[in-house]
Amino acid sequence: MAERNPKEKLVKMGNDIIKEVDAKENPKIEIPIRSLSNIIYNDKSKSLSIGDKTSKRFFFNVAHAKKFMQTTMVAAFCKELIEGKIHTNLRDMFYNLKRTLKDSEENTFDEQSESDPIVVDIEVALDMLREQLHLGADVRGRVVGNVSIVDRGDVVNWGKLGSGGWAIPSIVEEITFKSVDAKFILVIEKNAAFERLHEDKFWQKHNCIIITTQGQAARGCRRLIQRLSAEFKLPVYVFCDSDPYGWYIYSVIKFGSMSLAHQSDRLGTPNARYIGLTVSDIEEFGLDKFTIRAKDVDIKRAKDMMKYEWFQAPEWQKELKLLVDKKKKAELEALSGRGLRFMTEEYLPKKIKNKDFLP
Amino acid sequence: MAERNPKEKLVKMGNDIIKEVDAKENPKIEIPIRSLSNIIYNDKSKSLSIGDKTSKRFFFNVAHAKKFMQTTMVAAFCKELIEGKIHTNLRDMFYNLKRTLKDSEENTFDEQSESDPIVVDIEVALDMLREQLHLGADVRGRVVGNVSIVDRGDVVNWGKLGSGGWAIPSIVEEITFKSVDAKFILVIEKNAAFERLHEDKFWQKHNCIIITTQGQAARGCRRLIQRLSAEFKLPVYVFCDSDPYGWYIYSVIKFGSMSLAHQSDRLGTPNARYIGLTVSDIEEFGLDKFTIRAKDVDIKRAKDMMKYEWFQAPEWQKELKLLVDKKKKAELEALSGRGLRFMTEEYLPKKIKNKDFLP
Amino acid sequence: MAAKDGLGAPISDNMTAEDIALNMKEISVAEFFEKNRHLLGYENSSKAMLTIVKEGVDNSLDACEDAGILPELKVTVKQLGIDRFRIIMEDNGPGVVEAKMALAFGKMLFGSKFHRLKQSRGKQGLGIRGAILYAQLTTGKPAKIRTSTGDAKVHEFELLIDTVRNEPKISAHTTAPNKERWHGVSIELEIEGVYVERAQSIHEYLKRTAIANPYAHIIYNGPNGVLKYERTTNTMPKHPKEIKPHPYGIELGILIRMMATTRSQNVRSFLMGEFSRVGGSSADQILALAKLEAGRKPASIANDEAERLHKSMQMVKLIAPPTDCISPMTETLIENGLKKELEADFYVAITRPPSVYRGNPFQVEVGLAYGGKLNPQGAAELYRFANKVPLLYHQSSCAITKAVEEVDWKRYGLQQSSGGMPVGPLVVLVHFASVWVPFTSEGKEAIAEYPEIIKDIKLAIQDAGRNLASFVRSQRKSREGQMRRQLFERYIPVVAESLEKLTGKDHAPIEMKLEAMVKAGKLIIVEPAEETKTETKKAEPAEDEGADE
Amino acid sequence: MAAKDGLGAPISDNMTAEDIALNMKEISVAEFFEKNRHLLGYENSSKAMLTIVKEGVDNSLDACEDAGILPELKVTVKQLGIDRFRIIMEDNGPGVVEAKMALAFGKMLFGSKFHRLKQSRGKQGLGIRGAILYAQLTTGKPAKIRTSTGDAKVHEFELLIDTVRNEPKISAHTTAPNKERWHGVSIELEIEGVYVERAQSIHEYLKRTAIANPYAHIIYNGPNGVLKYERTTNTMPKHPKEIKPHPYGIELGILIRMMATTRSQNVRSFLMGEFSRVGGSSADQILALAKLEAGRKPASIANDEAERLHKSMQMVKLIAPPTDCISPMTETLIENGLKKELEADFYVAITRPPSVYRGNPFQVEVGLAYGGKLNPQGAAELYRFANKVPLLYHQSSCAITKAVEEVDWKRYGLQQSSGGMPVGPLVVLVHFASVWVPFTSEGKEAIAEYPEIIKDIKLAIQDAGRNLASFVRSQRKSREGQMRRQLFERYIPVVAESLEKLTGKDHAPIEMKLEAMVKAGKLIIVEPAEETKTETKKAEPAEDEGADE
């Protein structure tokens, strides 16, 4: 969807505004709302999508005027990127557009945190991808496995990159897979656990691909998981901390994120399963000594998540409730409390063998 | 130096303590002081080293007791790692050692920030490297260039890894260089600038290696720069933000850091030169519109740095003073205010051509 | 005879009722205040100096006003030693007649103003006697007094107070011819004191006196030079008239005493004759309610009947007491006084209609000065006045302060920490005028916190506050309207330029059209619309944003 | 004749000096306080009830003490209507003799205690008359008084005060036989009031009275039931003796008056006879310094000579005034009182040696109660007493409060925000006893802030505070010592286990040796040594740490 002619869309947006100016109407930009109230969860496709509620950003509104101006600036900048065939990133864009307004002390943008959401606004408003606007996302994530790819003409074997692994770029649309030899994909939240598994040659023993998201999964990382899973019918197991933040990382990999709900079909991996950690694991694997007390904010977050449509599975409701009741969190590192190779040699093999996953 | 028999050193440390217990003396561990007052700057070798002032950590001292206990725990843990030939990282170690003391609410360690410095204590006290204790450091940094290496038996060509580049592991002792074709090394503080240069094929055009430290350079990254520079006699140019933090990153690459002064000869690259950004650049390259106001903490930091022995070069004194006076900072992204390819096509080529470096 | 008790055996030096009775005697009021001089404002040597000047100036202003003379006052303070001063206070008032000279200065609780229901500064016949007492206590020196009523003679005499008997002792009384027909009083005292010029000082007292009494001309000749407070008007204030008590709030005990001593033949004429605002029909109403016959002799009314009468008096609807017993500063003079003293952007003054507490009419006035060169940081300054006399001490325990703090100043566009003074470039002047000011001590430094008084002060402040608020609001509004236009004008070139980049159409006509729309102003929305509401990031989980950066 | 003025033309109702003179008359002190009843503590209806009880109880305790009788007091408060109450106060004191009955209750500034230099609760002859005045003002009802000196007759009479003349008016005087030989006084008043039981209430007043007067037995029969304050000792306090004034701090004016009225034949005998602590040689020294001959008649001393004499009296070294004019609560009774009332861990009481302000001997006592069940949060509670009378109002403007706030409580291990009350589980009791308490108002609610008084209170608190500090410190120390041992004992197994892992040597003997060392305790260092100092991260640039993670 939405793959054709991003430039035309940007020009049309500008022309629409000019038409309103000519008609002496208050110029506006219409943007779909991205808050929970306008997110639709499709239980069949296991993905989030955006509803049809929109909000209007008017120029002649004291509260909107600056954002309106910023939106036109970002739109114009992206059109120039596309025309000039240049790629850049959000920070560069911010610096490019930041300047002081004439005869004043006011800047077009003060912080990057002002320009970043404008990009999402345009993506959603024009139903486009950031990459189509020639803007790169954050680079985060590494991968190891028996996979060969072609990227910019180079053949890269993910299994032959030594201890480092392949750093996942922000755009993975253009890589092609030459050979993929794996039975499943293990996605790991934390770099340290990834290194442990890498050093212990887990991916060779279990013939799998291991990917670390290094925290919340960046777009490139999510798209890579989605492509591997979809193109090679590989099951995906996600391995995160037992806390609301870890579980949310899983849900973003599986269902998509709320703010990019319109791209769930490209970034979401509905067949992903959750391998651990869970609150139940704490008892089952004797991790109690290595837990951390949940903070108020964790409890609050867990209670919120209990209401999300995409966390309604009874298994998840149970875990969320356990967390609220026991007030205990466990990080992946808790497993090394049981011994440094406990994760590689006991926990994960046992979980995979018993297919002990959460939906 | 200090390469032989780390295990013996740990055992000796334990035996020394037991001897004191037997003699009914207050058991102690002696640790060289790592504060500014005990750091010696060698202007000839351009490196920092640690002096011979030490402090004594006594068990029977209310203020030391817990740290003393923690030190023996970390030492015992490391000895077991060495014996078991297992590598791990600081976070795993923390989880492994964290537990609740008997009949109390007190933990051996509450936060990783308690166990991390103990490791440095032992490194300094026993004149060893973290890697010799089988502890990995943080993984950060990526590299691209016409270099082939052998790592764990794999041949990796840094120039053939597509858009991602090679992720630098925490330990680079064991890699060997098969072929290195480069005239210099460009070390870049920020990932975004690295990506720009990569997309613009800067390293191919200028036949160089480009490395991003992604912030403060991790040990692996510093050791890699040092090895490349020393083994292949390559000049090193460092490219950071024009602010005290950026300059400090440069100084750590060049001279070593204060807390690891005893390892400067392995981690420091004395022949590194600073290519930019500088406060002088702001005027010379018309970047004024894209600067950021320096905060009080920046000014204070700059004033402190003016007193460091290794920043006494008149060129640096001038830049520090300019920053204090003008109160302006500039990040690498400021260059893209002059156009997205300004950095690749104008700023860096001009600097390199004119050998416009700071010492 | 020693009293016996079951438990405590009386011991040798115990006293019997008879022993105690032998020791009983009357204490003179002068002795009482000699021992309790802190009650009169003499608790320390620096405050004593201010109190003396205050008593002298108050007396002089009262005398001049009574006589309808524009006041000319001269206050001299001369330093004689480290802690020794001579204070001379002179006025051009009517003077004191020979027959009463001694008593007027030398006997406490003696005066002309205690019983009359009429506003004046002094009241109780204590003030200037307290000053003389303080001088004789600290230096042993008599007061030197000159006075004349404008006749042929000027009297000069020295006076001490015999505290045991509360009687004056005059020495060295001489007279001199009075060719200039001078009239007035001059009092010279030698005292122990400490002189200050900051904060609670003679300076500050005279400055504020000048604000409240703009028809007075005051010359101050102090240790560090001469200061003159010029007259800003030649019009004397309306002369307050003496009134009868009003039935509302009069106390039962007072009513009973009045009935016992009245010359009226019956209760009806008693009510009509001895109270304000009681006419024939009001008197009848009261008596009907109290079930008393109109013809009853007041002295024959029994206590329970008096109680009924008292209750009825509170219940019948009567008009407020006459206002001519009170002499307000007036709104014009308050504004002028503030303008003369302070450089502000906005002034307002409010004089409330008179009101009553416990049968005593009173009137509240408030003045506000705002903005300009007033200190924008810190708490507002408060100028308290009672019967035109500035109050400098005990601010925190004064009804005026309490009222100011109870007002919700945020409504009027000012900041205020809970239950505190408002914050901002503001001076609050409050004048409480009454035939009887309920001071918390004889030193007359703070007004007792009667609810009726606090309520009226608050009403006055609120009234003035509304004026202030509309000024503050209109000032803010015009500033905001201008800022808003400027905001759009700043953004328009950028929007037009961006649209040119987007569409290739020339920016100039777009810019012109948008600017015309700003000038027309019709389209501009000020309230935050839905867009802003639904866009707040807070509605989203924080991590979600992070996922897509 | 109207005075003319150059500027202001006199108008019709202007008054001349003669008009003013005609209006002058004397005001009775009763009238003065009738109008100014807030000065006596009657500014509102709830406070009035407390004031009445306070005046009655103070009078009764004074009378019992004077007569050496263990006090038995009974206070009854009965609600008659919404805002109407009957208050009855009865004691077993010596009673009042028939000849003085009327004056003792019906004339203000009349009494036995004003002139004597001897500690007592009442002083000025105002208290109980104020209560009677309040009753007659609000309800018109006379006071009903019963009294007997223990002879054959009990007198019962009703009394009103004629305020214009400050004289008693007695009605319905009857007598009854006194078979039980009862002695004492009972006063019954009917008043308008508002009854409260929290904070500044009759309850709180009686509770604190019982602390300060543990030899009194008080029964309170209030609207909500009976409360009894039992006697904890049968020993009456040391009886204060009347003394002569001390030369230090006496005022010049008073000295002059004393010399004018003394019966002494010469100055030397005057000094020796009319002052405390002046013997022959002191008198000679004073006179030599003042350059006055010993034989001079006091009445012949001129003012400037009196001034020299006055100065000399301050300069000669004299012993402090006799202490037997003051009756302190004593340290034991303060501690007992606090223990009876409060469940704390620690009690201390300090009675300072007597001191002098303005010639008046005074004595300060302080009691502290700390810890236990006292509220550990919030400001300490302050119990103020003057001559054993609890002070409930005006805490913020009292010398006692000021002194407590000026003390640096942090030294004694307590928290304190700058210039405020200490914070913690603490009750501070301060008793100021003097032959003359300088109250800030006749209501006797706060002590004036004389520097000498504040200084002495601070010294007493500091003395008590040092005791408290060593308790707090030793409490903390023993807690710390125990915690320290536990700390090492917690760590030892881990250290021994780690050493076993490191060296392969068995942990058990290591553990035993370390534990023995803890028990010996000798090696333990408490002060942070160099190690800790040089290890603080802050000394390093923050980024540096980041570089090596």
Within an 8 Å CB–CB cutoff, is residue D534 touching chain B?
Answer: yes
Contacts of D546 in chain B (CB under 8 A): 215-216
In 3D space, the residue among A162, A168, A213 whose CA is nearest the CA of residue A188 turns out to be: A213
Within an 8 Å CB–CB cutoff, is residue C235 touching chain D?
Answer: no
pLDDT tens digits for range C502-514: 999 999 999 999 9
Contacts of D488 in chain B (CB under 8 A): 59-60, 65
Tell me the domains of chain B and their CATH numbers.
6-136 (1.10.10.10), 142-353 (3.40.1360.10)
> Residue C42 has what pLDDT?
84
- Which stretch of A310-319, B75-84, B289-298, D366-375 has the lowest confidence by average pLDDT? B289-298
pLDDT tens digits for range C241-250: 888 888 887 8
Residue of D nearest to B114 (CA): D537
In whole angstroms, give the CA distance from residue C544 to residue D451: 67
Q: Express as a percent the part of chain C with pLDDT over 70.
A: 91
Question: How many C-beta atoms surround the C-beta of residue B177 within 10 A?
Answer: 13
Within an 8 Å CB–CB cutoff, is residue C302 touching chain D?
Answer: no
Task: Output DSSP code: residue B258.
Answer: G
> Residue C147 has what pLDDT?
92
> Residue C177 has what pLDDT?
93
Within an 8 Å CB–CB cutoff, is residue D177 touching chain C?
Answer: no
pLDDT tens digits for range A120-131: 899 888 888 787
Residue of D nearest to B68 (CA): D495
- Which stretch of A349-358, B345-354, D215-224, D372-381 has the lowest confidence by average pLDDT? D372-381
pLDDT at D157 over 80: yes
Candidates C490, C498, C526; nearest CB to A75: C498
> Residue C228 has what pLDDT?
92
Contacts of A88 in chain B (CB under 8 A): 196, 336, 340
Whether D and B touch (3+ CB pairs < 8 Å), yes or no: yes
- Which stretch of A314-328, A339-353, C119-133 has the lowest confidence by average pLDDT? C119-133
Contacts of B219 in chain D (CB under 8 A): 548
Within an 8 Å CB–CB cutoff, is residue C483 touching chain A?
Answer: no
DSSP string, C316-338: S--PPPPSTT-----HHHHHHHH
Candidates C504, C541, C549; nearest CB to A248: C541
Could you give the 3-state DSSP secondary structure of residue D286? helix
| Interchain proximity B92–A336, CB inside 8 Å | yes
pLDDT at D131 over 70: yes
> Residue D117 has what pLDDT?
67
Mean pLDDT over each residue of chain C, to the nearest integer: 84
> Residue C9 has what pLDDT?
37
Mapping DSSP onto H, E and C, the string for chain A reads CCCCCHHHHHHHHHHHHHHHHHCCCCCEEEEECCCHHHEEEECCCCEEEECCCEEEEECCECCCHHHHHHHHHHHHHHHHHHHHCCCEEHHHHHHHHCCECCCCCCECCCCHHHHHHHHHHHHHHHCCCHHHHCEECCCCCEEECCEEEEECCEEEEHHHCCCCCEECCCCCCCCEEEEECCCEEEEECCHHHHHHHHHCCHHHHCCEEEEECCCCCCHHHHHHHHHHHHHHCCCEEEECCECHHHHHHHHHHHHCCHHHHHHHHHHCCCCCEEEECCHHHHHHCCCHHHCEECCHHHHHHHHHHHHCHHHCCHHHHHHHHHHHHHCEEECHHHHHHHCCCHHHHHHHHHHHHCCCCEC
Judged by phi (left if over 0) then psi (alpha if -120 to 50, else beta), residue D399 lies in alpha
Question: How many C-beta atoms surround the C-beta of residue C314 within 10 A?
Answer: 12
CA distance C158 to chain D (A): 14
Complex confidence, ipTM: 0.48
pLDDT tens digits for range C252-297: 888 988 898 889 999 999 999 999 889 999 999 999 999 999 889 9
In whole angstroms, give the CA distance from residue D158 to residue D155: 10
Q: Which run of H or of E encompasses C53? A: helix C45-67
Residue C538: partners with Cβ closer than 8 Å, 6 or more residues away: none
Length of chain B: 359
| Pairing of the two strands D346-351 and D355-357 | unpaired
In whole angstroms, give the CA distance from residue A148 to residue A182: 11
| Interchain proximity B59–D514, CB inside 8 Å | yes
* Region C23-29 average pLDDT: 75
Within an 8 Å CB–CB cutoff, is residue C82 touching chain D?
Answer: no
pLDDT tens digits for range A18-67: 999 999 999 999 988 877 778 788 777 777 777 878 888 999 888 889 99
pTM of the model: 0.59
Check residues A208 and A131 and name the one with the higher pLDDT: A208
Could you give the 3-state DSSP secondary structure of residue B44? coil
| Interchain proximity B199–A167, CB inside 8 Å | no
Q: Does domain D30-229 have CATH number 3.40.50.300?
A: no
- Which stretch of C113-122, D47-56, D65-74, D126-135 has the lowest confidence by average pLDDT? C113-122
Under 8 Å between Cβ of C233 and C216: no
Under 8 Å between Cβ of B329 and B246: no
What are residue D168's DSSP bridge partners? D161
| Interchain proximity B116–D534, CB inside 8 Å | no
| Interchain proximity C70–D8, CB inside 8 Å | yes
Which of the four pLDDT bands, split at 50, 70 and 90, describes residue C137?
confident
D461: which 2 tokens? 């608190």
User: Which stretches does DSSP call E strand in C152-238?
Assistant: 153-162, 167-177, 183-192, 217-222, 225-229
Under 8 Å between Cβ of C33 and C130: yes
Chain-centroid distance, C-alpha A41: 17
Contacts of C181 in chain D (CB under 8 A): 4
Could you give the 3-state DSSP secondary structure of residue D422? strand
- Give the C-alpha distances (Å, rounded to integers) separating C217 from A194, C127, D170: 92, 22, 54
Contacts of D251 in chain C (CB under 8 A): 137-138
Residue of C nearest to D4 (CA): C69
Under 8 Å between Cβ of D29 and D163: no
| Interchain proximity B89–A289, CB inside 8 Å | no
In whole angstroms, give the CA distance from residue C405 to residue C418: 9
* Region B176-191 average pLDDT: 93
Question: How many C-beta atoms surround the C-beta of residue A58 within 10 A?
Answer: 22
* Region C489-495 average pLDDT: 91
> Residue C187 has what pLDDT?
94
Within an 8 Å CB–CB cutoff, is residue B140 touching chain D?
Answer: no
Residue of D nearest to B62 (CA): D526
> Residue A259 has what pLDDT?
65
Instruction: Work out the angle at residue A105's Cα, subtended by the Cα atoms of residues A102 and A108, and round it to the nearest 5 degrees.
Output: 65
Candidates C491, C541, C548; nearest CB to A65: C491
Cis omega before residue C429 (within 30°)?
no
- Give the C-alpha distances (Å, rounded to integers) separating D535 from B26, B120, D183: 20, 12, 81
| Interchain proximity A101–C546, CB inside 8 Å | no
Options 2.40.30.10, 1.10.8.50, 3.40.190.10, 1.10.287.3610; which CATH number does C247-315 get?
A: 1.10.8.50
Could you give the 3-state DSSP secondary structure of residue D467? helix
CA distance B94 to chain A (A): 9
Under 8 Å between Cβ of A2 and C490: no
In 3D space, the residue among D57, D53, D44 whose CA is nearest the CA of residue D192 turns out to be: D44
Contacts of B331 in chain A (CB under 8 A): 95
pLDDT tens digits for range D300-319: 988 889 989 999 998 899 88
In whole angstroms, give the CA distance from residue D96 to residue D170: 15
pLDDT tens digits for range D403-447: 999 999 998 988 887 778 898 899 999 999 998 888 887 667 889
| Interchain proximity A164–B160, CB inside 8 Å | no
Tokens 């002189």 belong to C195
For chain D, give me the number of helices (H) and strands (E)?
A: 16, 18
Rounded to the nearest 5°, which phi and psi values hold at B201? Answer: 55, 35
pLDDT at C50 over 50: yes
Which of the four pLDDT bands, split at 50, 70 and 90, describes residue B267?
confident
CA distance A36 to chain B (A): 32
pLDDT at C442 over 70: no
Could you give the maximum distance between any two Cα atoms of chain B, in Å?
73
Which of the four pLDDT bands, split at 50, 70 and 90, describes residue B261?
low
Interface test with D, best of B113, B119, B130, B259 (most D CBs within 10 A): B259
* Region A162-186 average pLDDT: 86
CA distance C117 to chain D (A): 12
> Residue C544 has what pLDDT?
36
Question: How many C-beta atoms surround the C-beta of residue B241 within 10 A?
Answer: 22
> Residue B224 has what pLDDT?
93
Tokens 């000159």 belong to C146
| Interchain proximity A61–C502, CB inside 8 Å | no
CB-defined contacts A:C, below 8 A = 157
Contacts of B268 in chain D (CB under 8 A): none
Mean pLDDT over each residue of chain B, to the nearest integer: 87
Check residues B54 and B242 and name the one with the higher pLDDT: B242
In whole angstroms, give the CA distance from residue A254 to residue A239: 12
> Residue D530 has what pLDDT?
46
- Which stretch of B124-138, B230-244, C523-537, D95-109 has the lowest confidence by average pLDDT? C523-537
pLDDT at D268 over 80: yes
User: Would you tell me which residues 199-238 of chain A have a C-beta closer than 8 angstroms to some C-beta of chain C?
Assistant: 215-219
In whole angstroms, give the CA distance from residue C249 to residue C438: 14
> Residue C32 has what pLDDT?
82
Within an 8 Å CB–CB cutoff, is residue C4 touching chain D?
Answer: yes
pLDDT at D549 over 60: no
Under 8 Å between Cβ of D361 and D326: yes
> Residue D125 has what pLDDT?
62
Could you give the 3-state DSSP secondary structure of residue D29? helix
Rounded to the nearest 5°, which phi and psi values hold at A28? Answer: -145, 160
| Interchain proximity C488–A60, CB inside 8 Å | yes
Contacts of B27 in chain D (CB under 8 A): 514
Residue C489: partners with Cβ closer than 8 Å, 6 or more residues away: C515, C518
> Residue C250 has what pLDDT?
83
User: Would you tell me which residues 204-233 of chain C have a C-beta closer than 8 angstroms to some C-beta of chain D?
Assistant: none
Whether A and C touch (3+ CB pairs < 8 Å), yes or no: yes
In 3D space, the residue among D489, D177, C369, C415 whose CA is nearest the CA of residue B102 turns out to be: D489
Q: Express as a percent the part of chain B with pLDDT over 90.
A: 44
Which of the four pLDDT bands, split at 50, 70 and 90, describes residue B138?
low
Q: Where are the domains of chain C?
A: 30-229, 247-315, 331-470, 473-529
> Residue D541 has what pLDDT?
35
* Region A66-76 average pLDDT: 94
C311: which 2 tokens? 């209750």
pLDDT tens digits for range A82-121: 887 777 878 778 888 887 787 777 889 988 889 988 998 9
Tell me the CATH number for domain C331-470: 3.30.230.10
| Interchain proximity D548–B120, CB inside 8 Å | yes
Which residues of B belong to the active site?
95
Check residues D254 and A348 and name the one with the higher pLDDT: A348
Interface test with C, best of A59, A109, A225 (most C CBs within 10 A): A59
In 3D space, the residue among D203, D204, D208, D209 whose CA is nearest the CA of residue D226 turns out to be: D203
Contacts of C306 in chain D (CB under 8 A): 140
Sign for the pseudo-dihedral over CA of D491, D494, D500, D501: negative
User: Would you tell me which residues 318-377 of chain D have a C-beta closer than 8 angstroms to some C-beta of chain C?
Assistant: none
Chains with ≥3 Cβ pairs under 8 A against A? B, C
pLDDT tens digits for range D473-514: 888 888 788 888 888 889 999 999 999 999 999 999 999 999
Residue of C nearest to A298 (CA): C541
Chains with ≥3 Cβ pairs under 8 A against D? B, C
Whether A and D touch (3+ CB pairs < 8 Å), yes or no: no
Question: How many C-beta atoms surround the C-beta of residue A177 within 10 A?
Answer: 13
